[in-house]
Amino acid sequence: MAPTTRRTWSWTFNLPPEELWPVLADTNRFNEAMGLPPYALEETPQPNGTVLRRGKGKAAGFTLEWEEKPYEWIAGRHFRQARVFTKGPFRRFGPVFDLESDGKGGSRVSYALEYEPLTLMGRLFGARLAEQAGAAVEKRILEAVSFARGERPTFFELPPPELPPGAAERAGAMAGEIDRSPYGNGLGARLAALVQTGMATDLAPLKPKRLGRDLGVPQRAAVEACLAGVRAGLLTMKWDLLCTNCRGAKASAAALGELPRGAHCPSCNIDYDRDFEKNVELSFAPAPAVRPILAGGFCLSGPMATPHVAVQLLLAAGERRDVAVDLPPGSYRLRTLHPGAFVDVEHDGTSPFPGVRVTASGVEASAPGAFVNDAGFEVAALIEDRTWTREALTAPEVISLQVFRDLFAAATLRPGDEAGVSQVALLFSDLQGSTALYERVGDSVAYNMVREHFALLAGIVRDHDGAVVKTIGDAVMASFGDPAQAVRAALAMQKAIADHDLVLKLGVHAGPSVVVTLNDRLDYFGSTVNMAARLQGQSTGGDIVLSGTVADDPAVQSLLSSVPKREESVTLKGFTAPVGFVRLTPSGLRPPPP
Tell me the CATH number at 493. 3.30.70.1230
DSSP state of 590: -
Note the pLDDT tens digit of each residue in 399-439: 999 999 999 988 888 877 888 898 999 999 999 866 667 77
Angstrom distance (rounded) from CA 71 to CA 330: 24
Q: Is 351 helix (H, G, I), strand (E, B) or coil?
A: coil
Q: Are 52 and 67 in contact (CB under 8 A)?
A: yes
For residues 123 and 31, state if they share a domain.
yes
> For residue 375, is pLDDT > 50?
yes
> For residue 586, is pLDDT > 70?
no
Number of Cβ within 10 Å of residue 467's Cβ equals: 22
Model confidence at 530, pLDDT cuts 50, 70, 90, reads very high
Q: Are 63 and 322 in contact (CB under 8 A)?
A: no
Q: Is residue 393 part of a domain?
A: no
Angstrom distance (rounded) from CA 34 to CA 139: 10
pTM above 0.75, yes or no: yes
pLDDT at 499: 80
Q: Which residues does 348 contact at the CB level (< 8 Å), separation at least 6? A: 329
Domain boundary among 323, 350, 385: 385
> For residue 591, is pLDDT > 60?
no
Of 544, 551, 553, residue with least CA distance to 588: 544
pLDDT at 1: 60
> For residue 128, is pLDDT > 50?
yes
pLDDT at 576: 78
Please give the C-alpha separations between residue 475 and each of 119, 289, 376, 583, in angstroms, as whole numbers. Answer: 76, 43, 66, 19
For residues 369 and 422, state if they share a domain.
no
For residues 13 and 143, state if they share a domain.
yes
Q: Is 300 helix (H, G, I), strand (E, B) or coil?
A: coil
Angstrom distance (rounded) from CA 209 to CA 215: 10
For residues 122 and 71, state if they share a domain.
yes
Number of Cβ within 10 Å of residue 469's Cβ equals: 24
Tell me the CATH number at 27. 3.30.530.20
Q: Which residues does 416 contact at the CB level (< 8 Å), separation at least 6? A: none
- Indicate the average pLDDT of the chain: 91
How many domains does the chain fold into? 3
Domain boundary among 148, 183, 201: 148
Average pLDDT over residues 27-37: 91
Is it true that the peptide bond before 303 is cis, omega within 30 degrees of 0? Answer: no
Note the pLDDT tens digit of each residue in 188-201: 999 999 999 999 99
Average pLDDT over residues 106-129: 90
Q: Which residues does 286 contact at the CB level (< 8 Å), separation at least 6? A: 195, 203, 204, 206, 234, 235, 236, 292, 293
pLDDT at 386: 92
Q: Is residue 566 part of a domain?
A: yes
Please give the C-alpha separations between residue 220 and each of 41, 116, 187, 213, in angstroms, as whole numbers. Answer: 36, 50, 12, 11
pLDDT at 66: 93
Note the pLDDT tens digit of each residue in 167-190: 999 999 999 999 999 999 999 999
Q: Is residue 359 part of a domain?
A: yes
Note the pLDDT tens digit of each residue in 340-354: 999 999 999 999 999
Of 480, 309, 432, residue with least CA distance to 381: 309
Angstrom distance (rounded) from CA 228 to CA 190: 13
Angstrom distance (rounded) from CA 368 to CA 186: 53
pLDDT at 589: 54
Q: Is residue 523 part of a domain?
A: yes
Q: Are 464 and 486 in contact (CB under 8 A)?
A: yes
Domain region containing 523: 412-584
For residues 339 and 424, state if they share a domain.
no
Angstrom distance (rounded) from CA 532 to CA 464: 18
Q: Is 155 helix (H, G, I), strand (E, B) or coil?
A: coil
> For residue 385, is pLDDT > 60?
yes
Please give the C-alpha separations between residue 291 and each of 136, 229, 240, 300, in angstroms, as whole numbers. Answer: 26, 14, 21, 22
Note the pLDDT tens digit of each residue in 210-248: 999 999 999 999 999 999 999 999 999 999 999 999 988
For residues 362 and 447, state if they share a domain.
no
Angstrom distance (rounded) from CA 173 to CA 189: 10
Of 542, 566, 55, 562, residue with least CA distance to 296: 55
Per the DSSP assignment, residues forming a β-bridge with 10 are 110
Domain boundary among 85, 116, 148: 148
Question: For a pLDDT cut of 90, what percent of the chain falls above it?
Answer: 72
Model confidence at 570, pLDDT cuts 50, 70, 90, reads confident
Angstrom distance (rounded) from CA 130 to CA 445: 80
Angstrom distance (rounded) from CA 197 to CA 117: 38
Q: Is residue 215 part of a domain?
A: no
Q: Is residue 580 part of a domain?
A: yes
pLDDT at 194: 97
Q: Are 137 and 34 in contact (CB under 8 A)?
A: yes
Q: Is 130 helix (H, G, I), strand (E, B) or coil?
A: helix
Beta strand 544-547 with 504-518: parallel, antiparallel or unpaired? Answer: parallel
Q: Is 226 helix (H, G, I), strand (E, B) or coil?
A: helix
> For residue 440, is pLDDT > 70?
yes
Note the pLDDT tens digit of each residue in 256-268: 889 898 999 999 9
DSSP state of 394: B
Q: Is residue 246 part of a domain?
A: no
For residues 508 and 445, state if they share a domain.
yes
pLDDT at 301: 85
> For residue 376, is pLDDT > 90?
yes
DSSP state of 377: S
pLDDT at 593: 46
pLDDT at 434: 67
DSSP state of 341: B
Note the pLDDT tens digit of each residue in 282-293: 999 999 999 999
Q: Is residue 380 part of a domain?
A: yes
Greatest Cα pair distance, the chain, in angstroms, is: 97
pLDDT at 592: 47
